[in-house]
Amino acid sequence: MKEFVKTVLAVICGFIVLQILSFILFMIMFAGALISGGKPALPKSGVLDLDFSSISIAEQGKSTPDFAFAAGMNMNPTKSIGLLDAVKAIETAAGDPSIKFILLRSDYITSGMATLEELRSALAAFRESGKPVIAYTEIPGNGSYYLSTVADKILMGSQHGGTYMLFGLMSQQIFLKDLLDKLGVQMQLIRHGKYKSAGEMFLANSSSKENREQNQILIDSAWKVFSDAIAESRGISVEEFNGLLDNLSLVVPEDFLAGKLVDELVDHKTLQERLCTFAQVEEIKDLHLVPLADYSAAKKSSGFSRSQVAVIYADGEIVDGSASTGVAGDRFVQIIDKARENKSVKAVVLRVNSPGGSVSSSIKIREALDRLQEEKPLVASFGDYAASGGYWIANGCSKIFSDANTVTGSIGVFSILPEFSALSRKLGVNIETIGSNKHSDMLALMRPFDKDEVDYLTESIEDIYDMFVNLVATSRGKSYEEIDEIGQGRIWTGRDALGIGLVDEIGNLNDAICYAAALADLHSSDEYSIASYPAPAGMFDDLLQSFGAGDKTPSILAGTPFEALGYELGKITDGRNGVVYARLPYSLDIR
């Protein structure tokens, strides 16, 4: 027994010593990072390198630099840069004599369609300064090639064996009725809107006519933006471009060259020679590539202005409560109030990148925004998504800027709950419920709704839908009937939404900031600084997140058509029975 106790004490002491040593090592690394964590040093002359294999574009950037020990601490070594920071860096580089041109390597970009659109617009403006953009590609896909075509020249790797993903846009939906029937789970759906296809994945084996129609129109509209820009940039017709894709004509790099989709095929040595020529240097050792994230960090102004334009980022699903992720209603109201009460904030841009979510939180957020707008100019900017609840919170802004490929609209509401009585019988599990009133067990999920309960829920859904439509009609200066006609849960691209009056102008986040500043009589960027709400995440947020990453089990469905299955099934068992949603009816993944 004595030896056992000694062994246990030795293990405990060893564990404590290990923890102390780990903490000391962490503090040494942290101190070193702080010492070297200033702005990166830039060469006197170089090339701005947009290499999307090493950076990712987020809605909101980080407040602290990426530290050298990130990889060692199990943190993502890929640098994340905010979209606005990326655009501002490209804008700065246009007037920076030390930057000779931009090297664009977009093969691994994973950004959404609207984000790609904003980056492409920034690169086009850079070209107007007289400096070239040179793109290099090896495995072009829909989004990466669309971005590459803004370049003056597109160089393509001459090596064969690449996996090309340039086939045109697609969306996928998954349908679970047969699976749920086998399990004995019945879904009970209450909704308003013939296009509000929420629940179809649980109730049917294929899309309804209306759902398929709206998805086809959405894909066609988004592809028109892509294909028109590509064809114009490459000097070919849209029909020629689509013909190359439809006939599967792009098998080897030579096919891209023959189809006028690239300008030259190069091996590694030739690529280096071409880049040296563009940079006007003799040898590759004199070619200095400046990563976009480093350039942004070095050039980003840290100055404070007495006048600020606040950008409030509504990024993620709208949820109830005060969660630190997503657009949590209670937390977000506090964020809005903070911007409203800040005397330095003269105007506000609401940046929406959200598929919607909880109706109750959407209402709270909209009311807080209305209070803000009584005191300060408020303008909206739409990112990849501004749909349903995302549109609910934003449609009252004085002006709405949207990207052409933003997914927006979806003016409709629904509530969906599973019913497990058949599953219970199959499993041999008997559940007995005792209630005080006739409908006490209405949300117990162990029996179907009766007619009175369906009528009750339908009345609630209809009331919320009417509230939504009236809200949009008042904000957009239209009648109830006009909004109802384009509502019904239907989704639109920003390009189509402009034509029906749901948005005011096709423009990016920077356009919205400039417009909001002008409303506050701030007509030069020197007169104001940009403040982000909520405050950007920093290193410690990443560190805490990385510590929790080990709890997540990688899904064997990742990368397959069934990847969204776990997420969608989770939505019906998240414990929030009876919640009414104003959100996109399904996870919309266009690629």
C-alpha 276/C-alpha 286 separation (Å) is: 8
Q: Would residue 95 count as lying in a domain?
A: yes
Look up tokens 């007037």; give the residue.
Answer: 95
Mean model confidence pLDDT for the chain? 85
Quick: pLDDT tens for 2-49.
Answer: 554 455 455 555 556 555 655 555 554 444 444 445 567 788 889 999
Neighbours of 276 (CB within 10 A): 16
The range of the structural domain enclosing residue 93 comes to 46-166+250-299
Kindly list the distances between the CA atom of residue 326 and the CA atoms of 60, 292, 329, 358, 541, in Å, as whole numbers in the listed order.
13, 27, 9, 12, 14
Q: Does residue 214 fall inside a structural domain?
A: no
Q: Of the candidates 156, 146, 127, which has an alpha carbon nearest to the alpha carbon of residue 48? A: 127
Q: What are phi and psi of 357, to 5 degrees?
A: 155, -130
Joined together, the tokens standing for residue 170 give: 């697609």
Helix (H, G, I), strand (E, B) or coil at 62: coil
Residue 320: predicted pLDDT: 93
pLDDT at 364 over 50: yes
In a domain, 295, yes or no: yes
Q: Please report whether residue 553 resides in a domain.
A: no
Whether residue 13 is contained in a domain is answered as no
Tens of pLDDT, residue by residue over 429-439, are: 888 888 899 98
What is the CATH classification number for the domain harbouring 97? 3.90.226.10
- Split into its structural domains, the chain has a count of 1
| 204 within some domain | no
Among 441-445, 474-478, 560-564, whose mean pLDDT is lowest? 560-564
Residue with token string 């006197």? 44
Residues 272-300 have pLDDT tens digits of 999 999 999 989 999 999 999 999 999 88
With respect to residue 267, please indicate whether it lies within any of the assigned structural domains.
yes
- The pTM of this model reads 0.84
Residue 154 domain-assigned (yes or no): yes
